[in-house]
Chain A
Amino acid sequence: GAGVSQSPRYKVAKRGQDVALRCDPISGHVSLFWYQQALGQGPEFLTYFQNEAQLDKSGLPSDRFFAERPEGSVSTLKIQRTQQEDSAVYLCASSSRDRTSSGNTIYFGEGSWLTVV
């Protein structure tokens, strides 16, 4: 596609509910990232995929957070038993190349705004 597409754009979840956030990266992009952006803060790294392999998940805040990219394109971020502190914008980004060049630009989607009540 022309850009990174995320859905849903807005999600209100009751505390304890499970949510799934979808990311459609730019077609052909190898690298895919998930970031969490709290209100008034910069994005914080969650996890990174190269094709279908999850190479770095060091930023996932707890074992309630799980991400997958089974066919190396679309990715899903799942949050189980949501808590109020999970309320944030979840940003997906993709890049055309792997980690070999730090100059590679990553392109962000518009984000999924999650509010846990």
Chain B
Amino acid sequence: GNSVTQMEGPVTLSEEAFLTINCTYTATGYPSLFWYVQYPGEGLQLLLKATKADDKGSNKGFEATYRKETTSFHLEKGSVQVSDSAVYFCALRSNTGNQFYFGTGTSLTVIP
């Protein structure tokens, strides 16, 4: 079946620290992989995506590389800001179905 496992939070970092949020997946077929971000009181927003192995998605300084050999899609940012404080969700969409499968989310707090 399809599932996503991401590292549990909460994660607290100082401004300008390096961020990694781990995400691994199990999927049938050839999935596309996504990171969504949810700011307090708001809906989910697409952060980045990758549709095939070795693709790198990037946006707003965040990056994630689709690693088929390790079934991973870890989110990284070299220097976090206070405004990055949010909940981050890893997700996959299989090419054999309609559903998105989400991880449980990782809460990030960046302190000045």
Q: What string of 1s and 0s marks CB contacts (under 8 Å) between A4-42 and chain B? A: 100000000000000000000000000101010000111
A-B CB pair tally, cutoff 8 Å: 66
| Chain B contacts for A43, CB-based, 8 A | 44, 89, 100, 102
Flag if B46 contacts A107 (CB, 8 Å): yes
Shortest Cβ distance from A27 into chain B, in angstroms?
A: 17
A binding-site residues for B, Cβ under 8 Å: 4, 31, 33, 35, 40-45, 48, 55-56, 59, 91, 93, 99, 101-111
Question: Given A108-B44, A109-B43, A110-B43, are A103 and B100 also a contact pair (CB < 8 Å)?
Answer: no
Per the bound structure, the CA–CA distance linking A59 and B98 in Å amounts to 12
Flag if A45 contacts B44 (CB, 8 Å): no
| Chain A contacts for B93, CB-based, 8 A | 102-104
B binding-site residues for A, Cβ under 8 Å: 4, 29-32, 34, 36, 41-46, 49, 51, 89, 91, 93-95, 97-105
The answer, among B4, B51, B98, B102, for a CB contact under 8 Å with A48, is B98
Among residues of A, the one whose C-beta sits closest to the C-beta of B105 is A42
Shortest Cβ distance from B14 into chain A, in angstroms?
A: 24
The answer, among A4, A48, A99, A110, for a CB contact under 8 Å with B42, is A110
Flag if A40 contacts B104 (CB, 8 Å): yes
| Chain A contacts for B45, CB-based, 8 A | 108
Among residues of B, the one whose C-beta sits closest to the C-beta of A107 is B46
Per the bound structure, the CA–CA distance linking A12 and B48 in Å amounts to 34
The answer, among A45, A48, A59, A103, for a CB contact under 8 Å with B49, is A103
| Chain A contacts for B89, CB-based, 8 A | 42-43
Among residues of B, the one whose C-beta sits closest to the C-beta of A43 is B102
The answer, among B43, B91, B102, for a CB contact under 8 Å with A111, is B43
